[in-house]
Amino acid sequence: MLMFRDLSKGDLPLFILNFGVITLSPKVQEANLIQQYRPICLLNVSFKIFTKVATIRLNSVTNHVVNPSQTAFMKGRNILEGVFILHETVHELHRKKQNGVILKIDFEKAYNKTFRIKGFSLKWIKWLQTFLSGGSVAVNVNEEGDHLSPLLFNMVAAMLTTLIKRAKLDGKIRDHNLEMARNMKLLLCAFEQLFELKINFNKSELYCFSNARDALNQYMERSLAARMENSLSAI
């Protein structure tokens, strides 16, 4: 409890607790190749307690700040709901022989401005910065293994969902055409500027399905700067 008190007062240098030890666990007997090992990162116990408590506190408000359509990593929601909705959407478009586009977007995480917009205090934002940066370990790893990352990702994704819904209501991204692709690219660029993050278009993917695959799909691919996929298995 003394450590929590010091953290609240700003007297605890939390970054000194943000370290881990990586252990390689063999997947098979007599493993002799790096691919045959599974890396396990053991984090400092005190640091894990802090992130777990922060996750519990965030869970109490995420339903109010995360769009209902975001079902992954949310308490009381099922990640399979998103899979089911995607399956039914694609099935219906194929059944009715309608045009359609599915865009998978990859973006680097940036949480500071999102949390300011959502009304989180400066103290909370500083804590989250400490949780997600400044860590040290024997080898370089990212921060996706902690409790907080899925919740923070959902909050950023919720902001993008809000922008897309607004653009749809305004008729900017409604049809399967080149103008829609350009408007979507502009929306994503605006999203980058508003929330100070980077869309990774090289890792983003585009899946077009229609009565006939024609040059329009290729134009859309170039306009969005996303890789065209021929199968939903990639998405």
- Provide the H-helix boundaries in the chain: 2-9, 45-59, 62-65, 80-95, 112-117, 122-132, 148-169, 178-195, 215-224
Residue in the block written with tokens 């080898």? 139
pTM: 0.49
Q: What pLDDT sits at residue 139?
A: 54
Ordered mean pLDDT values, 10 residues apiece, the chain (235 residues)? 70 69 76 76 75 81 76 76 83 80 71 74 78 61 54 76 85 75 82 77 71 56 58 47
Q: What pLDDT sits at residue 149?
A: 66
How many other C-beta atoms are found inside a 10 Å radius of the C-beta of residue 150?
Answer: 13
